[in-house]
């Protein structure tokens, strides 16, 4: 049978067999053909079915592929999965009706401690190939990618392929598999349509101005290098506005620590303590502790403990209201909360009444409700739960106000000049200043407002 032609492709992945016509009285058997293939080095991937067809059909003078090698399968690269939504950063937030909010660009992507940030997906190993001659063809293996923990991140103790946040802050993801969580952020220019509103879980520095209509909020300290227009700035810690705040009544400054500003005009201000280098004009102010300013003109100013001001009011301005101890403001807040609580209580009663009528009017003798009535009853139950939760929140707020009212110390106002048309309030007690006062200390003694030379 030496006349039978046995060949293979140059890459060794195919083996061929050709039986010439007229040489043998009887066609070779499958086993004989396999023996010939082995004798010629083709030992892998033998296609027995193809040999069987050749024998069955007495296939002469046709080059038949009777052995198939396995090509190598290269490994597939691993990848880094980003588990925080950074794709929407810099894009306006979609609003109902197809509109977008160009003030909300998601400039900062915040994460909480322990939040997953990056996951390393290992490469899929490759598989070596083999020729019909039994020779191994090596595959190419893809290298494994590396997770690089930057500042504020670490590997998960449960999963070495998972990178998590080690603190609250703004997440930064880099193309080389590195991530960081920053607890300090600097915005080099203004807060405007280029940045959108800023919400950050750390300390924030804005080197420019916060433009009208925008909002800045940080859980840490906030430093504004420019000024604040008709905007809202909230800090969990201290807040400093080097250029001052000037608005038309829609701006707010709020912080959980000390507020420092050059000046404030037409703003709502709330802080633990307030230090304004120049004037506060037509502001609504609540300092839980102390307040210091050069001048207060117009508006309502409340300070829980002390107030030190050079000048209060002017001869040409409308009335300036000074709320000693902030008790009047706290009482007004409590009155508003009590009204809200009464409204929620009435709402809860209406919901219970509606539930009663659904059951009374529509339940059958077997205690069953039709589907429509059952759906209404479930909706009323959900509304009742929400109403109860709202009532609980209001009651907690009232209790917190009551504690503040109990904790009030004797407030003291020191002023070099107090103009007429200034109203001093202390709880339900008021005193109208009718003549200019100089160098005075105003305080409370047994619920009476006292004025002494200081």
Thinking of the domain 79-125+141-182, which architecture would CATH place it in? Beta Barrel (2.40)
Residue 51: predicted pLDDT: 94
Domain residue spans in the chain? Answer: 5-68, 79-125+141-182, 185-271, 329-407
Residue 102: predicted pLDDT: 59
List Cα–Cα distances, 130 to 5, 23, 124, 136, 141, in angstroms: 22, 34, 19, 4, 16
CB-based burial of residue 203 (10 Å sphere; 0-12 exposed, 13-18 middle, 19+ buried)?
buried
Task: For residue 311, give the 3-state DSSP assignment.
Answer: strand
Sign of the Cα torsion 346, 350, 352, 356 reads positive
Under 8 Å CB-to-CB from 208, ≥6 apart: which residues? 187, 188, 189, 190, 191, 225, 226
Residue 136: predicted pLDDT: 95
CA 341 vs. chain centroid, Å, equals: 32
Residue 175: predicted pLDDT: 64
Q: What is the pLDDT of residues 163-193, one digit of tens each?
A: 999 988 888 777 667 888 878 888 999 999 9
Residues of the chain with pLDDT under 70: 1-2, 23, 87-95, 97-107, 175-176, 317, 326-329, 331, 335, 404-409, 454
DSSP tag of 188:
-
Q: Is the pTM of this model over 0.85?
A: no
Judge contact between 222 and 206, C-beta under 8 A: yes
Phi-psi region of 228 (alpha: psi -120 to 50; beta: other; left: phi over 0): beta
Residue 430: predicted pLDDT: 86
Residue 158: predicted pLDDT: 92
Under 8 Å CB-to-CB from 360, ≥6 apart: which residues? none
Judge contact between 376 and 404, C-beta under 8 A: no
Judge contact between 394 and 344, C-beta under 8 A: yes
Residue 331: predicted pLDDT: 67
The residue among 227, 173, 162, 165 whose CA lies nearest residue 201 is 165
Query: Which token pair is 285?
Result: 């102010």
């Amino acid at each position: 049978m030496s006349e039978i032609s046995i060949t293979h492709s140059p890459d060794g992945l195919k083996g061929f067999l050709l039986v010439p016509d007229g040489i043998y009285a009887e066609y070779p058997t499958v086993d004989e053909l396999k023996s010939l293939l082995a004798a010629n080095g083709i030992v892998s991937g033998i296609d027995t079915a193809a040999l069987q067809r050749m024998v069955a059909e007495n296939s002469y003078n046709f080059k038949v592929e009777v052995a198939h090698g396995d090509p190598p399968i290269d490994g597939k690269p691993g990848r880094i999965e980003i588990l925080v939504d950074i794709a929407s950063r810099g894009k306006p937030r979609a609003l109902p009706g197809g509109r977008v909010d160009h003030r909300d660009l998601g400039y900062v992507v915040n994460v909480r401690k322990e939040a997953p940030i990056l996951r390393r997906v290992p490469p899929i190993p490759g598989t070596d190939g083999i020729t019909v001659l039994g020779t191994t063809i090596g595959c190419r293996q893809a290298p494994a990618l590396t997770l690089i923990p930057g500042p504020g991140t670490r590997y998960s103790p449960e999963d070495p392929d998972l990178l998590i946040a080690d603190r609250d802050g703004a997440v930064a993801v880099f193309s080389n598999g590195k991530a960081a969580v920053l607890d300090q952020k600097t915005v080099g220019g203004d807060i405007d349509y280029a940045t959108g509103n800023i919400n950050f879980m750390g300390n924030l520095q804005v080197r420019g101005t916060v433009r009208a209509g925008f909002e800045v909020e940080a859980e840490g300290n906030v430093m504004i290098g420019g000024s604040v227009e008709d905007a809202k700035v909230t800090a969990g810690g201290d807040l400093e506005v080097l250029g001052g705040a000037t608005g038309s009544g829609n701006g707010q400054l709020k912080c959980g620590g000390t507020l420092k500003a050059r000046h404030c005009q037409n703003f709502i201000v709330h802080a633990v303590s307030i230090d304004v280098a120049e004037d506060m004009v037509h502001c609504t102010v609540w300092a839980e502790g102390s307040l210091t300013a050069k001048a207060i003109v117009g508006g309502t100013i409340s300070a829980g403990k002390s107030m030190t001001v050079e000048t209060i009011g002017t001869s040409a301005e409308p009335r300036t209201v000074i709320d000693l101890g902030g008790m009047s403001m706290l009482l007004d807040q409590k009155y508003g909360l009590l009204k809200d609580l009464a409204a929620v209580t009435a709402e809860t009663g209406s919901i219970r009444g509606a539930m009663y009528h659904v059951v009374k009017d529509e339940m059958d003798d077997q205690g069953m409700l039709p589907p429509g009535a059952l759906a209404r009853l479930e909706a009323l139950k959900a509304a009742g739960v929400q109403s109860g939760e709202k009532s609980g929140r209001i009651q907690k707020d009232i209790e917190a106000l009551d504690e503040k009212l109990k904790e009030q110390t004797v407030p003291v106002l020191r002023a070099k000049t107090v103009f007429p048309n200034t109203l001093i309030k202390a709880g339900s007690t008021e005193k109208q200043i009718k003549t200019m006062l100089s160098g005075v200390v105003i305080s409370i003694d047994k619920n009476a407002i006292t004025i002494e030379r200081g």
